[in-house]
Structure 1
Amino acid sequence: MFTGIITDVGRIRRVAATDRDRRYEVETSWDVASIDLGASISHAGCCLTVVEKGEGWFAVEVSNETLSRTTLGTWREDKAVNLERAARLGDELGGHIVSGHVDGLGRVLAIIPEGGSHRIEIEVPVPLRRYIAPRGSITVEGVSLTVNAVMDRVFGVNVIPHTWEVTTLGRLAVGDQVNLEIDMVARYLARWQETA
C-alpha cells in the first residue's frame, strides 16, 4: 500500500527487453542498501517489485499486461518517474490509501496557471468517470490529489507549487497520457451498490 506522497523523482537509466517482457533500471537518490529485493515501489502510480539493485539504482521487471494498460510502455532512458516506497504500519498517512494498481489512462486537456498553483484538466475513460467526485481523492502519476471539479468525462485538480516542483507533474504537457488510480473507497462503494 502507498499514500500518494512522492518521496523521490527517479530516472530511467536503462531499458531492456527480457524473456520476461521488459526491465527498467531506475536511478534514485534513496539509500539503495535500505531497499530489499522483492520490495514494492510505486513508479508513477504503478506498483512494481525490485528484482536487482546496484550503487544508486534498482531494477524492476514489467509484464506485457502492465505495459499495455499504463504509461510504462512508452518509457525510455532518461525519463523522470515519480517514486514512492510502500507505507509501513505506523507511517503518517499524508495522502490517501493507494494500492498502486492503475485503473486507466487519462489525457491532459489543459494546464492553467492559477496564482502560484496550476489547474490540470484531465479526460478519463468512460468506465472511470462514475468513481470520480468533487472533493474526492484520485492518484495521477502516483501523486495523491483532491478532485476540484468534475464535468462529464473531465475532472480538474489544483497542484500547489511544492508538488509542481518536486514531482513530474510540472513536466506534463497538453496531450500527455497519465496513469490514474481511483479512490479505493469509491471503487468498493460502487461495487457494493451494483450487488446490493
Structure 2
Amino acid sequence: MFTGLIQAVGRLVDRTPLGGDVRLRFTVGVMPFGDVQLGESIACNGVCLTVVAFDTAHFDADVSTETLALTTLGALPVGAAVNLERALRVGDRLGGHLVSGHVDGVGAVAAVHDDARGQRWRFGAPKALLRFIAQKGSIAVDGTSLTVNAVDDAGFEVMLVPHTLAHTGFGTMPTGTPVNLEVDTVARYVARLQETEGWA
C-alpha cells in the first residue's frame, strides 16, 4: 500500500525487452533509498512495481504485458520523469489516502489554468471510472493523492498547490499527456456491494 505522497521524481533510463515483456530501470532522485531490499514495492507513476535489482541510484523492475497494456508505462519514453513512492510501512503517517498501486485506467491532461499561486487541472477520464469519482473525494493521478474539486460526465478537476507542482512530474507535464488513474478503494467496494446486493 501507498499514501499518494510522492517522495521523489526519478527518470526512466533504460528499457530492456525480455521474453515478451520488459525490464525498466529508473533513477531514484532524492528518494530515501539506503535500506532498499530486493522484492520490495515502489510505485512508479502510481504503478506498483517490484524491485528486482538495484544500486545506490537506480532500481530495476520487470513489467508484465498486462501492465504495459493497461497503464502509461507501455509507451513511457526513456528519459521521462516518473513520480516515485516506496511502500507504506506500519506506523507511518497516512498523509494522503490509501493507494494500492493498481491502476484502474488511463486518463489525460485536458486543461491547465493558473489559480493564484496554484493551478487548476482538468483531466479526461474513462466513463467507466467516473462513477467512482466524487466531488471532495480522493483520486490518485500518476500516484499522487489529489482531492477532486469537480466531476462531470467527461472528467474531473483538481487544484495543484505550489509544493505539488515543484515536487512531482506535474510541473513539466503538457496538455494531452496520458496519466494513470486509481480511484478511491472505498468507492470501488461500495459500488461492488451495491451491484451484488441481494446475493446472500
TM-score, normalised via structure 1 length? 0.97
Whole-angstrom CA distance in 2 between matches of 1:99 and 1:55: 26
Letter in 2 for 1:18: L
Q: CA deviation at 1:153?
A: 2.0
Match of 2:192 in 1: 191
Q: Give the counterpart letter for 1:8 in structure 2.
A: A
Offset at residue 100 of structure 1 (A): 0.2
Q: Which residue of 1 aligns with 2:13?
A: 13
**Structure 2: 5+ residue stretches without partners:** none
Give the drift of 1:31.
Answer: 4.9
SS of 2:90's partner is coil
Which residue of structure 2 lines up, in the alignment, with residue 91 of structure 1?
92
Question: 1:30 offset after TM fit, Å?
Answer: 3.5
8 Å CA contact 1:50–1:58 kept in 2: the answer is yes
Matches of 1:161 and 1:143, distance apart in 2: 14
| AA matched with 1:5 | L
Where in structure 2 are the equivalents of 1:117-128 lying within 5 Å? 117-128=118-129
SS at match of 1:84: strand
Quick one: distance in 2 between partners of 1:182 and 1:33? 31
| 1:95–1:55 Cα change, 3 Å | same
1:70–1:104 contact (8 Å) kept in structure 2: yes
Q: Could you tell me how far 1:82 is from its partner in structure 2?
A: 0.3
Runs of 4+ in 1 over 2 A off after TM superposition: 29-33
- Separation in structure 1 between the aligned mates of residue 115 and residue 32 of structure 2, nearest angstrom: 36
Q: How many residues align?
A: 196
CA distance in 2, matches of 1:184, 1:54: 33
How far apart are the structure 1 equivalents of 2:166 and 2:51?
26
Unaligned runs of 5+ in 1: none
Residues 80-109 of structure 1 deviation map (CA, whole Å, 9 limit, x = unaligned): 100000001110000000000000001111
- Contact 1:2–1:97 (8 Å) recurs in 2: yes
| SS of residue in 1 equivalent to 2:66 | helix
2:57 aligned residue:
56
Contact 1:14 1:77 (C-alpha < 8 Å) held by counterparts: yes
Query: Which residue of structure 2 aligns with residue 23 of structure 1?
Result: 23
Instruction: Letter of the 1:15 partner, please give it.
Output: R
Contact 2:31 2:84 in 1 (8 A): no
Aligned to 1:150: 151
Find out whether 1:166 has 2:188 as its counterpart.
no
Give the fraction of aligned pairs with identical amino acids, expressed as a percent. 48
- Distance in 2 (CA, whole Å) between partners of 1:78 and 1:175 is 18
Superposition RMSD in Å: 1.0
| More divergent stretch after superposition (78-87 vs 26-35) | 26-35
AA partner of residue 174 (structure 1): T
State the secondary structure of the residue aligned to 2:74.
Answer: helix
Equivalent residue, structure 2, for 1:41: 42
